[in-house]
Structure formats: C-alpha cells, structure tokens
Amino acid sequence: MNAITTFDSTRESLLDMLRSIRKGETQLPDFQRGWIWDDEHIKSLLASVSLSYPIGTVMMLQTGSEDVHLKPHLVEGVFWDDPPEPERLILDGQQRLTSFLQAIYADRPVDTRDARGAHIRRWYYIDIAQAMNSDGDREEAIKSLPEDRRIINFRREVIADYSTPEKEYEAGLFPLSQVFDDTEWRWGYEKFWDYDKEKAKLFGEFEKELIERFKQYQVPLILMRKETPKEAVCQIFEKVNTGGVSLTVFELLTATYAADNFRLRDNWTERKRHFKEQKEQKVLARVESTDFLQTITLLTTYARRHQSIANGISIDNAPGISCKKKEILRLSLDDYKTWADRAAKGFEKAARFLHSQKIFAARDIPYQTQLVPFAAILAVLEDRADSDGVKAKLARWYWCGILGELYGGAIETRFAKDLPEVVEWVSDDTEPSTVSDANFVPERLHTLRNRNSAAYKGLHALLLRDGCQDFRTGDNIDEQLYFEDAIDIHHIFPQHWCGNNGIDMKLCGCIVNKTPLSAKTNRIISGNAPSTYLPHVQKRSGYDDNRMVEILQSHVIEPKSLQSDDFGSFFKSREKALLDRIEKAMGKHVARVTTSQDFDIPEEELEAEE
C-alpha cells in the first residue's frame, strides 16, 4: 500500500522557479504581504548561491482545491494586465524568491532598504577578479550599486562610474541581472579587451565556477497537494514559516474571502477602531482578530446545531458547537456576514459588563480568553441580558471562571459548553459547567503574588466593585479616578517594614497584604509602619477616626490590627474577609481548612507566579 501524504518533496532549478513566477504560473496568496529584505540580506543570498550553499526550502501549494480557495496576487516585480490563474502559490520563501527575481531575473533596479531602513534602489554586480580569488570573501565580491550606477562622496562628487557596459568591462564588474544569459555581455567584454587571452581565460573560469552555479542551482521544494485541507495548510505553515507574515486563521480566511472580493482585514480594522474609540471599551484593546473569529464560529455552529434539531435531527446526531481552528477555517463568507455585527455587539455589551465590575483597562481583565464565549453569550441573549436576574447569573458565571481559574489551559472545549449552557441557565436552574466545576482553594490566596494570575487580578477588581475607597481621598474608585490617580495593587504592610520585622516575605507579597490604592497614597505609605502612615494620611486628608475606620473596612481590613501593626491578626482577619468576598462572588461555599500560620508555599508555585 502506498503511503498517504499531502505533499511532494522535490527539487527545482532556480531558473525554472523564476520563469514560473514571471509567467504568473507561480503567485502569492493574498495574505502574503510585500517583501522587506534589505540590501545586506540580498547580497548575502546572492553570495550563497554563487557558492552553491543552501538557502533553505521553499514551500508551495497547488491551486485548484475545493477546500482552499485563495485569492492570488503576482510576486512583486511581475506585471500582467490580465494575470493568468496560477498553478501554485508560494507559502514560504517569498522573501528569497522575490529577491532573486528582482536581482537576477529582471532588467530593472531592485527596490530594497538600507541598514537604516531607508528606501533605496540597487543593481547587483559581482567583481570578477575578487570572486575568483580563493582567499577573497564572496559577500564582499557582491557589489550593490545605486540606480544610476554611479558612486558619489559626501561632496556629491562622482568617484566611480559603471553606468555603461564599457565601464563595467573596464572595472571587471559583471551585472548579475544577466547571469542566466551572459553571452552578449561576454562578447562585449572580450571585444573591449581586444580578445586578450588572459582576460578571456579569467572570464571562462568565472563562467564555469560561478555563473554556472546560478544556472544549475537546485532549490529544495515542498509542494503541498491541492487535496491538502485548509487547517493542514495553516498548521504546516506555522511550523515551517521562516519569515514574512505569520499565517494565522485570520490571514488564511482573509485570502479566502478576498477571492469573493471581501476585504476581511479592512472589515476587522474598522471594527477594532470602533472598539478603541468608545470610552468604556478600553477594555477591548487586546481583543484580536482571532478572538473575534472564534466568537463568530461559536455563534455559527450554535445556530447550525439548533437549526438541525429544529429540522428533526436528534440531539446526538446534530452538529456540535465549536470554535477550534478547524471549525474557524470552515467559516464561509456568508457565515461571517451573518454574525459579525452581532458578535461585535456582544463584545461591546461585555465591555459594559466589565465596567460594572470595575474592570476599566485591558490589562486588568483576568482572562482575556473568557471574552470569547462571553461575547457569544451576550450576542445570543441580546436584550434578555439586561434584566437584573440575568445579569446576576452572568456575573456569577464570570467570577466562577476567574476565581476557579478555568480559562488558563485548553479552553475551546469550555467555550463550546459555555455558550449553550449559560444561555439555557437564563431560562432554568441548571448550572453551567463553569459554575459547577469552579472551586477556590483557600491556600491559593497565599500564592497569588502578581498579575500573572487571573485570580489575583480578579480579587483586585472585586475590591473595587464592592466599593473600596482610597486611603487618602476617601473616594470610591470609578473609571475617572482609576486612570487619573493611577490606581494599582499595592502593599498594605510595606515590604520594607515586613523585612525589618521578620514577616515571612511570601505572606507579605501575596494578595492578602495588597489592595487597590492610588500612586500618591502609595508614596505617602512608602516603607512606613501602618501605625505611622495612617495618622499621616488622616491628617493630610482631614477626616476623623470614624471615617478612617470606614475607609479601611471598605478594603475588608480590620482597623485595630492595622493601627497596632499586628500583621498576624491583620492577615488572619483579612484572609477570612477575602474568602467571604470570593464565596459571595462565586455563589458557593469555600472550604476553609488551613491557616496563614501553618501554610508553606511550595517553591515551584512561588517561581511560577513570579
């Protein structure tokens, strides 16, 4: 039995490959953007071929697939008024092949960039004598000349001129644009030197040792067959791509939709711009195109499943709900157009929800990934999501996901459960898996040390949501205060004080000893003991002892323990109070089996958090 494979591995001459490109038989898919190799890269590439060194494998895809229908475009430097349909598309090797095409197979200067990134136009030559010197550096023998082939100094004086064939012959500079058809140049060269035997011998050796290397150079080629499924194209490209644009599902769909004259990239750019312009949608700043496509895929497969069941197909046989890569790549343009607006509204409603939970910035979102199913849920619920009872259920689902830390691993399967289960939960009392699966272990409070943890950011948001007030101003922290006063998570017992007083730094650095405070308040606190900084804060702010107590209690801090610098009592009471907040947010009991005094943090957990 023959082995089943989706590709052929072969070799093709560089000349044949460039011919195919110039004829339009080989083109680029729409997701491949303009080439960007600079002058030095091109010279190095030309030197490698002149020495028969490997330059890497090129990967192409046969056209004509029913599954993978990509809009093609010509390689830069190829011009057709009515381009032919390509036989294959370049997936990996665009930079190298475009460099070769322009430098050695086109009678025009190469558009490239210098070391500073400035646009330049260059012709590429090789110094015959230098190239034939066994002790010479081949890259140094490759010469890059300006568009007019004249070299000038800083006074704008011409110090070298190679602008005519005769001047090329005299300097012994061979134009690499003629490497595949050097006969005419050789005749002119020999005639210029009056058929000098030594010159003719030198060029003969140069032709044999160098020009023939270009003519005979074989490029390793992986040709993916047209039967290759779309998801395989994407996966293989991700593994082998060595430069240019990374092929995401978004890029592949961009090329697919372009075949139907729909510009997906422009559509997404406009939606992203709209997200950024809305005041309360700063939280959406990190939503990416793939997130948006995942939400649309959830909605598409959800609708498809419901329609199948409505048409009499059994629940067990109805198509499933999914947003895995394979399913995203199956999105038709009609699917996208059907659900894109509703998906966008879902993200906008999610942004408003996050604001209601006092999450104002994208960096404070505990799980960016959780926005994908959330937007889909809100898109399906539409106005039903605005009622008080539904909002309470959505909040519980959201916080269970965060505090249960359920969105940090392989999450597409959970997304597929979230959408139908949460929507159904709105109408009945069957808890979704995210709610029933969620569990918070009290010991986890001791290992929440920085923003790498979703639960860490979640507790920060919970304290803001539940009305904690800044120590200095006494204000509830809303969006304006959050940004104007640079609210962040700061130590209550400062690290400096803890270090000087023998406090376990693992406990000092965990979330139990941190709370949202403004940058100004944190500067006042500095490294002082609470008994020192509290009176100072109170005096500067002009409020009485009762008001100080209210402000501390808004952070679930027991005032007496703070005022007396009793870290142990403070930690124990705040640990309990935070667990109370967690229980309330999750709507379920948290088993409390340890104390802050007997819990030791494993070093591997500490390192993972840091």
Q: Using one digit for the tens of pLDDT, what is the confidence trace for 476-514?
A: 776 666 777 678 889 999 999 999 999 999 999 999 999
Place of tokens 């011009």: 79
Residues above pLDDT 90, as percent of the chain: 63
| SS3 state of residue 23 | coil
Distance CA 420, CA 415 (A): 9
Query: Cα angle at 560 between 460 and 544, to 5 degrees?
Result: 85
pLDDT for res 193: 95
* Spatial CA neighbour of 65 closest among 192, 226, 187, 306: 226
Under 8 Å CB-to-CB from 521, ≥6 apart: which residues?
A: 470, 471, 472, 473, 490, 537
Average pLDDT rounded to a whole number, residues 164-181: 95
pLDDT for res 279: 67
| SS3 state of residue 123 | strand
Q: Which residue has the higher pLDDT, 410 or 293?
A: 293
Q: Which pLDDT band holds residue 595 (cuts at 50, 70, 90)?
A: very low
Q: What is the pLDDT of residues 552-571, one digit of tens each?
A: 999 999 999 999 999 999 99
Q: What is the pLDDT of residues 252-291, one digit of tens each?
A: 888 788 878 888 989 999 999 888 877 666 889 999 999 9
Q: How many Cβ atoms sit within 10 Å of the Cβ of residue 299?
A: 25
Range with the lowest mean pLDDT among 65-74, 205-214, 406-415, 601-610? 601-610
Q: How many Cβ atoms sit within 10 Å of the Cβ of residue 61?
A: 24
Range with the lowest mean pLDDT among 109-113, 133-137, 428-432? 133-137
Q: Which residue has the higher pLDDT, 217 or 254?
A: 217
* Spatial CA neighbour of 68 closest among 250, 304, 232: 232
pLDDT for res 93: 87
pLDDT at 3 exceeding the cut of 70: no
CA atoms 507, 549, 473, 521: torsion sign? negative
Q: Which pLDDT band holds residue 597 (cuts at 50, 70, 90)?
A: very low
Q: What is the pLDDT of residues 60-94, one digit of tens each?
A: 988 887 777 778 889 988 888 888 999 999 988 88
pLDDT for res 190: 94
Distance CA 59, CA 42 (A): 20
Helix, strand, coil abundance in the chain, percent, nearest 5: 55, 10, 35
Under 8 Å CB-to-CB from 594, ≥6 apart: which residues?
A: 442, 443
* 162 CB burial (10 A radius; 0-12, 13-18, 19+): buried
Distance CA 545, CA 532 (A): 15
CA atoms 569, 573, 579, 582: torsion sign? negative
Mean pLDDT of the chain: 88
Please give the structure tokens belonging to residue 494.
């400062």
Average pLDDT rounded to a whole number, residues 314-322: 92
Distance CA 443, CA 594 (A): 7
pLDDT for res 581: 94
Backbone region of residue 3 per phi and psi (left: phi > 0; alpha: psi in -120 to 50; beta: other values): beta
Question: What are the phi and psi torsion angles at 269 (to 5°)?
Answer: -60, -40
CA atoms 446, 452, 455, 459: torsion sign? positive
Q: What is the pLDDT of residues 356-402, one digit of tens each?
A: 998 988 889 999 999 999 999 999 999 999 999 999 999 999 999 99
Distance CA 250, CA 272 (A): 14
Question: What are the phi and psi torsion angles at 232 (to 5°)?
Answer: -70, -40
Q: Which pLDDT band holds residue 599 (cuts at 50, 70, 90)?
A: very low
Q: Which pLDDT band holds residue 238 (cuts at 50, 70, 90)?
A: low
- DSSP 8-class letter at 469: B
Under 8 Å CB-to-CB from 201, ≥6 apart: which residues?
A: none
Please give the structure tokens belonging to residue 296.
């649309």
Q: Which pLDDT band holds residue 245 (cuts at 50, 70, 90)?
A: very low
| SS3 state of residue 476 | strand
Residues 443, 506: contact at Cβ < 8 Å?
no
Please give the structure tokens belonging to residue 171.
């300097």
Q: Which pLDDT band holds residue 596 (cuts at 50, 70, 90)?
A: very low
